Structure 1
Amino acid sequence: MTLSGSTALSALSILLVCVVTVVLGTRGTGSSRLTSDFYVARRAVSSRRNASAIAGEYLSGASFLGVAGFVHRGGSDMLWFPLGYTAGYVVLLMLVAAPLRRSGAYTLPDFAHGRLETSLVRPLASSLVIGMGLVYLVPLLQGAGNVLRHVTGAPPWVGPAVVGVIVLVNVASGGMSAITGVQAMQYWLKLATLAIPAVVLVGLWIHDGRPMVASEWAQPQVWEGTTSLPIYTTWSTFIGLALGTMGLPHVLVRFYTNPDGRSARQTTVNVVALLGVFYLIAPIYGALGHIYAGGQQTSSNVVLDLPMARLEGWPALVLSALLAGGAFAAFLATASGLVVSIAGVLDQDFFRGRLNRWTGFDTKPVQTFRVATVVAVVVPVAISLSLSNLPLLDTVNLAFGIASTTFGPLLILGIWWRRLSRVGAIGGLIFGASVGVLLGVLEAIQPPMPGWLEALVSAPALWSVPLSFATVMALSLLTPGSIPPHTRQILRQLHTPEPRAVPDLDVAGRPEAGRPEVASNEVAK
């Protein structure tokens, strides 16, 4: 097949992104031999670098393409989505970031196990991490396939395969140490590839006399598709996204990479600034797409197609290629973080120790992590290829909804409420997961419902999150005998600034030579 100019440049842009990602991810990872290399990058990532990495991981294809698509389709009401995504880090800053880092955990199941002092919570927490990771990762892989097909004409399976191979190479080579620098680079790459075409297009818009969007599009709560109870829907969506951000495992695991709690707080402040800059730019494409593309382009592709709708010739081709590369970088960055979080849980709670018995070989912890990484990549790629296309932003928001009703209450109450009991926490996780799954099923099958009930189902956070908190608190108050015996000591540890950084562990789970012993809260591998 002869490639057109647009296809060739877009393919070259994506290829360069892939090559740079692999080179940066594998460079120097031969020295990755510690457990903390693969899980938390030795807990030695500076606040600025970690903020760039978090922003790079968090700004997935749903942000790079989906936010503009939502604004293009739904008007100014959709601006609540980027506000909600960013507000989640304000909640993290105030309530979670520093205490979570002081917990000394590697994963959310580690935190739940240590806080509740029971292994009964681990299988449930681990299953939720894996389930939410798949809900997020599968449509992300499909989105990568759709982008690659849209800009190059490649078959739908190529995108998931390419993302899967690159992520597998990077994560297996060095885990969190390998992807941290890559994700930091990918944030600035995404920002540049989104900002440069935006500046050009805004300049052309000014040159064209500043044509305005339709008044219905600009007015809140009047655009087509607005559901019943618009004020309720708006606030419920905002709260669900904010609290859901706080409970996403692949977001939280990056805070374990900071040296201490103070650095975790500074990281969060920097993340809010980086997300704010990015989300100021993304909606521009939705508004300009409404002016120049109208209904000619589908909302999901408005970012990629806008340069061709306003420009002609090589300028349009170059800008389109920049956007294609940035979009693919978004899929790679988020997929890497999701795979690390899933692989970490698979390694600790399913493969560690069992793999030796299954295979008959003496596998080391690093080798077990790599086996878990293969599973964490191959399974979602296979699922993404076997299912029809899932709506990217809607499915990602489902993961936010489940996170807000499960790990959200567990984290806030686990950090700030000394009367949290084991029964309350476990019951709350079960209740929150059940509500999230039920709502996801209803959204998928879309049975006939009156307008008010449809609004409650499509934007449930205003009732589901308080109900989840109430369930945890009620069960805890009814079962004071299951309050962990060392709750006061654990809470004191979570809220006391560290006198020193937590040391690294070698692959056998021992402190490195010359370093002090591990703090009592550190989860030994």
Structure 2
Amino acid sequence: MSLTAIISLVAIVLLAVTSAVIGSIAHRTRLTSDFLVASRSVPSRLNAGAISGEYLSAASFLGIAGLILVEGVDALWYAVGYTAGYLFLLLLVAAPLRRSGAYTVPDFADARLASPSLRRVCTAVVIVICWLYLLPQIQGAGLTLGIVTGLPDWIGSAAAGVIVVVTVAFGGMRSVTFVQAFQYWFKLTALAVPVIIGLAVWYGDDHTFARSEPPEFREPTTVSVTTPVTLEARLPVDVTARGTVDGQPVDGPVRWDAGSSHDVAVGTELAFAAGEPVPVTSGAPTDDESWLRPFTGSAEHQLLATYSLILATFLGTMGLPHVLGRFYTNSDGRAARRSAVVVLAMLGGFYILVTLMGVLSRVYTPQLLVTGRSDAAVLLLPTAVMGSGLLGSLVGGLVAAGAWAAFLSTASGLLVSLASVVSTDVLPGKGGMTRRFPLATVLAGIPPTAVALIPTGLNFAEAVALVFAVAASTFCPLLILGGWWRGLTAVGAIVGVLVGGVTSAGAVAAALAGLDAFLPGPLAAWAEVLLYRPAIVSVPLAFITMVVVSLITRARRPADAGQVLLRLHAPERLGLMRDRLDDRG
């Protein structure tokens, strides 16, 4: 095992131990509110750190830099959308949600419309969203451990799943809050150090992106293709291949002509000499100049895909259960809004660093444009810039531990939301909360951990964007209309959530299954966009359905709708806010 691998493994273990120690110090979980909302006593700044810690997931730490490496400026919409989503949450949801006195999203729905059926539907949606979101987090942990140590990916995935389940089961929201706040600052440091060093090194190089040529291999490079890829050569490329290329076995030097495209099978090794132009995966910008301009890739319907991505990320944030659960821990609505404002600043700083990591990766890790594993850019950049000596290994270990902090903090928040819903809605009356919550955590954490052991080959940022589409199509319409429109009915909410959920989740399932490949040419191009970016259809459809059905069933409008809305929007000094559950556990 190399020096970098040993240091990275030690750093990951130290991070896990430190997080466990912080969680145990903050451990005090005797009551229902301790487990679910940390007794609603988390200060705004601490809560903002915890929100940022759990929100900045595998998609943020690894995925966005990888997408910027491949797609250039088009990928910046991920960072913009993930950040801007909190602006919409701040304006429309944060304070009313806290004033509802709810513990979970289903509890908010019940407080607003008093419908057991709606509560059950919301419970099912929470489970689907959290499970879909947990998968890339646990798989990201496996990818990180595999890249830095050479161990099989499933070992890291299994270890991360066990750590998260144990931490949440015995600590609940109170312990997780302090751990996630610590992990945010650790992640920020893990990105800032290599970015500062990388920019200093890049300043001394003569590389510029203002050229109509692809990046070049800086040294002789051999890459192993781990997922099937189609590579496009902008300029003639001499490569020594061993494996299967274009369906034919190859073992020796070949020349790829300018403008050619080649299918490379899994397990193929490609060796490039220093100075050779880098072929890129199909659909990505083939040269640096186009990499800096929007919509220059060869993929079809890019503008439609971008609009759909914007809709999903802008509105999906307010539908994520683990994000919403954080605002239940504030003392009142004003504190919830203050937390959201601080989060905007913290996320902005983080995404600036991630963007710079993606830019530096274009220069120092161009081989990832060939392998299809662009998520590894952040992990490989330190040693690519500083070498595999002590300094490069130390910074590489810091980055690897930061990546694990991203996975653990987000997975912990998701599992808290899952366990909260399972313990209050699936296992009611099965003993006190001190017994139900750990049991619910184990039951909720095992399925996604088991599924995460199977590789999907999907970029983390893309996988999370699909989850955002589901959240934007279900809970976003429910929270906005439920918090601002007195005409909403339980029937309208149920039908709207189901329509949005089935449409978006069905598209997610079809995308992961690759069903678009079975459609004829023109339809396949449209299907690929709408399956991977369903929000542009599913979100308006959910809103329209919820409004139309509510108008049709206006006779079933809750009689106290006006009073509930008054409580959601009245200033705290009027004393109308109240919590829905007591602490008898």
With 122-131 and 297-306 compared, the bigger mean Cα shift is at 297-306
Query: Could you tell me which amino acid in structure 1 is paired with residue 300 of structure 2?
Result: T
Structure 2 Cα separation of the partners of residues 438 and 236 of structure 1: 16
Deviation per CA, 1:342-375: give whole Å up to 9, x if none. 001110111122x3xxxxxxx3222111111111
Question: Larger % of helix: which?
Answer: 1
Q: Note if 1:436 corresponds to 2:436.
A: no
Residue matched to 1:303: 378
Structure 1 Cα separation of the partners of residues 449 and 534 of structure 2: 30
Q: Is the 8 A contact 2:308 2:535 kept in 1?
A: yes
Q: Is the 8 A contact 1:142 1:389 kept in 2?
A: no
Report percent identity of matched pairs.
44
Q: Is the 8 A contact 1:142 1:390 kept in 2?
A: no
Q: TM-score, normalised by structure 1?
A: 0.91
Tell me the CA shift for residue 17 of structure 1.
0.6
Q: What stretches of structure 1 of length at least 5 have no aligned partner?
A: 356-362, 503-517
Structure 2 Cα separation of the partners of residues 52 and 292 of structure 1: 32
Deviation per CA, 1:249-283: give whole Å up to 9, x if none. 01100000000000000100000100000001101
Q: Is the 8 A contact 1:352 1:365 kept in 2?
A: no
Equivalences for residues 436-455 of structure 1 within 5 A: 436-444=504-512, 445=514, 446-447=516-517, 448=519, 449-455=523-529
Residue matched to 2:20: 22
Tell me the CA shift for residue 485 of structure 1.
1.6
Q: 1:387 to 1:299 in 2, by over 3 A?
A: closer
Residue matched to 1:317: 393
Equivalences for residues 177-326 of structure 1 within 5 A: 177-209=174-206, 211-212=208-209, 214-224=288-298, 226-228=299-301, 230-296=302-368, 298-312=373-387, 313-326=389-402
Query: Could you tell me which amino acid in structure 2 is paired with residue 493 of structure 1?
Result: R
Question: Larger % of strand: which?
Answer: 2
Q: TM-score, normalised by structure 2?
A: 0.82
Q: Note if 1:410 corresponds to 2:478.
A: yes
Structure 2 Cα separation of the partners of residues 350 and 133 of structure 1: 15
Q: Note if 1:457 corresponds to 2:516.
A: no
Structure 2 Cα separation of the partners of residues 209 and 384 of structure 1: 42
Q: Note if 1:337 corresponds to 2:413.
A: yes
Q: Which has the higher Rg, Structure 1 or Structure 2?
A: 2
Query: Could you tell me which amino acid in structure 1 is paired with residue 359 of structure 2?
Result: A
Deviation per CA, 1:309-334: give whole Å up to 9, x if none. 22222222122111101001100000
Q: What stretches of structure 2 of length at least 5 have no aligned partner?
A: 211-287
Query: Could you tell me which amino acid in structure 1 is paired with residue 541 of structure 2?
Result: L
Q: Note if 1:380 corresponds to 2:448.
A: yes
Residue matched to 2:565: 491
Q: Is the 8 A contact 1:22 1:166 kept in 2?
A: no
Residue matched to 1:13: 11
Q: Is the 8 A contact 1:7 1:151 kept in 2?
A: yes
With 164-173 and 343-352 compared, the bigger mean Cα shift is at 164-173
Tell me the CA shift for residue 522 of structure 1.
4.4
Aligned match of 1:97 in 86, 94, 97?
A: 94
Structure 2 Cα separation of the partners of residues 324 and 275 of structure 1: 20
Equivalences for residues 105-120 of structure 1 within 5 A: 105-120=102-117
Tell me the CA shift for residue 160 of structure 1.
2.2
Structure 2 Cα separation of the partners of residues 382 and 481 of structure 1: 46
Residue matched to 1:149: 146
Q: Is the 8 A contact 2:466 2:533 kept in 1?
A: no
Q: Is the 8 A contact 1:69 1:286 kept in 2?
A: yes
Deviation per CA, 1:56-113: give whole Å up to 9, x if none. 0000111000000010111110000000000100000100000000000000000011
Structure 1 Cα separation of the partners of residues 579 and 201 of structure 2: 60
Structure 2 Cα separation of the partners of residues 270 and 127 of structure 1: 31
With 277-286 and 147-156 compared, the bigger mean Cα shift is at 147-156
Residue matched to 2:541: 467
Residue matched to 1:423: 491
Tell me the CA shift for residue 152 of structure 1.
1.0
With 304-313 and 43-52 compared, the bigger mean Cα shift is at 304-313
Matched position secondary structure for 1:32:
coil
Q: Is the 8 A contact 1:105 1:523 kept in 2?
A: no
Structure 2 Cα separation of the partners of residues 336 and 33 of structure 1: 19
Structure 2 Cα separation of the partners of residues 393 and 129 of structure 1: 20
Structure 2 Cα separation of the partners of residues 336 and 409 of structure 1: 26
Residue matched to 2:578: 519
Q: Note if 1:63 corresponds to 2:56.
A: no
Structure 2 Cα separation of the partners of residues 185 and 114 of structure 1: 33
Deviation per CA, 1:410-436: give whole Å up to 9, x if none. 000000001001110000011011101
Q: Is the 8 A contact 1:347 1:368 kept in 2?
A: yes
Q: Is the 8 A contact 2:320 2:468 kept in 1?
A: yes
Structure 2 Cα separation of the partners of residues 28 and 135 of structure 1: 29
Q: 1:193 to 1:123 in 2, by over 3 A?
A: same
Q: Is the 8 A contact 2:84 2:314 kept in 1?
A: yes
Deviation per CA, 1:461-513: give whole Å up to 9, x if none. 233211210110000000111211210110000001223899xxxxxxxxxxx
Deviation per CA, 1:114-157: give whole Å up to 9, x if none. 11111111111001101111111122211111111111122322
Residue matched to 1:508: none
Q: Is the 8 A contact 2:316 2:468 kept in 1?
A: yes
Q: 1:465 to 1:523 in 2, by over 3 A?
A: farther
Tell me the CA shift for residue 451 of structure 1.
3.1
Query: What number of residue pairs does the alignment pair up?
Result: 497
Q: 1:57 to 1:453 in 2, by over 3 A?
A: same
Structure 2 Cα separation of the partners of residues 501 and 65 of structure 1: 45
